[in-house]
Chain A
Amino acid sequence: MLKVTNLTKRLPNGKVLLNGITFTVEKGEFVGILGASGAGKSLTMRCIVGLTTVTDGEVIFRGESGKTYRTTTIQGKELRRARRNIGVIFQGFHLVKRLTVLENVMIGRLGRINPLRSWLYGFTDREAADAMEALGRVGMSDFAARATGSLSGGEMQRVAIARAIFQKPLCYLADEPIASLDPKNSRAIMRLLQPLASEQPIIGAFHQPEMTAQFCTRVIAIRNGTVIYDGDPHLSPAQLAQIYSQDDGSELEGGFDEPQSRPLVPALATR
């Protein structure tokens, strides 16, 4: 389904952010990626959807009717085709705040509809009904007409998940989907994600080992850009200590600093 091979990213200054990340995800899996801030979890996800370039290695994604996409190298139309099959959920939700909740959900299908039609009159009633159904699955039907900017974090994350569901992807990527939510909302979001995983695989980055132990089918741990554990989601305290031990102080830097190697809006400026 999704095969990540030897993914490597080196900055021009020689700093290695990803160092040969390799794993494969199959249907039915709910993979939780653990690791300290700056370990390379988010960056791995960005590489998978082609939001950033890689120094070495590749990501192979099997899309609709078995077609394979090398998302690390393709661009333009091919990349758009690959992306419409991958539902991405972000830590910061990144919804369009000025649009309504329903419009944000319908954005999930932009990759599948005629660009001219989407410009002129937007979406059909049928699509709106489907989007409402997706909102229903995350318990947000009553919010459809609300301005998205007026929602709380937990509500926005539900809308983001509805958008991903409406997208009808073959695989979900969730980049720290619960990192900015309180424990109660976090658990609720995990409960929403779990049944999705039985339909299409989910790869999620998390900071809560207790959550991944409870909900995920498999855990991959990344430390300093390398996979150091891949297997059973139930980890021993010793294993956790090892995962979160840093040897370069990068937890203080709070993530990686990628130089502006690509324009601010890569999707706009490069294709």
Chain B
Amino acid sequence: MNLNDFSLDRYRKHARAAGLLLAAILVAAWRTEVNFGDLAKASSKAASLIGLFFPPDWESFPKMIGPAFVTVLIAAVATPIGTLCALALGLASARNVSPPWLRLTMRSLIALERGVPEIVLVLILVAAFGIGPFTGVVALTIASIGMLGKLVGDAIEEIDTATVESVACVGATRGQLIRYAVLPQVMPSLLTNSMFRFEVNIRASVLLGAIGSGGIGYELMQSMNQLEYHKTTVAVAVSLLLVFLAERLSDVIRSRVLEGATLS
């Protein structure tokens, strides 16, 4: 086979793959009732709707502060609890720390937690705990464990084994090894990941508020239902502000932690 044949052959293969992909997208679009005519119609409707949201009803702003706090507190309680649980589960699910039976059990448990979306969790939990912020805390704690447990477990599996071995050589117990050789190595990734999870939890907390955990999300939903769109605008603005502030905070903390990491 000469070089020309080879390259032509390759193009042919690419063309076939692209054709298949295009066909698949077209079928999917047909099944999901994609209709560009409707899109155009809906967007002109949406444009006229936007007018209803302005001017924002800033009078209602003071009434939003309390709910906004609830939203933040839900995330602020769920994140650290979730982080601590994730650390324990992560240790139990790491190949280099735990025996196989425990590891597999924990990995499956974490995967299960990660597999259930927050909304589904809240819908189930509302049935159990009723409507209220606590439901949101429990849902977000479980969701945090699902994500952080996996990340922590992976981080623990990637630590420098020689360092752990070297600490073991002074006669340290398993607990001491975790405290002095494992934790220091995973701490930066644990902190940055849990800060990121805090951001995600703020966003999720807004959303969950709409379906039962209270807070700014509930105000947003209420104002929509009562057609008080001017209030909705304020609620959206407050939500955006919360997300923005959470991101700033986590950026600051993360850069501090990473600064420490460059030292090592």
Contacts and interface: CB of A to CB of B under 8 A. Distances in A.
Interface residues of A, number: 43
A264 interface: yes
Interface string B221-264: 00000000000000000000000000000000000000010011
A190 interface: no
B165 to A, nearest CB: 6
Contact of B264 (A85, A119, A147): A147
Interface residues of B, number: 36
Contacts, number: 120
B91 to A, nearest CB: 10
Interface stretch (B23-31, B41-49, B76-84, B170-178): B170-178
B164 interface: yes
A118 B177 CA distance: 11
A96 interface: yes
B161 interface: yes
B99 interface: yes
Given A84-B171, A94-B165, A98-B184, A265 B177 contact: yes
B95 interface: yes
Given A84-B170, A92-B162, A147 B260 contact: yes
A51 B185 CA distance: 21
A165 to B, nearest CB: 12
A119 B165 contact: no
Interface in A69-101: 80-88, 90, 92, 94-99
B175 A265 contact: no
B176 A118 contact: yes
Contact of B175 (A81, A85, A96, A119): A119
Contacts of B167: 96, 107, 110
Given A80-B171, A148-B264, A264-B95, A94 B185 contact: no
Contacts of B52: none
6 contacts: A264-B157, A265-B165, A267-B168, A267-B172, A268-B97, A269-B98
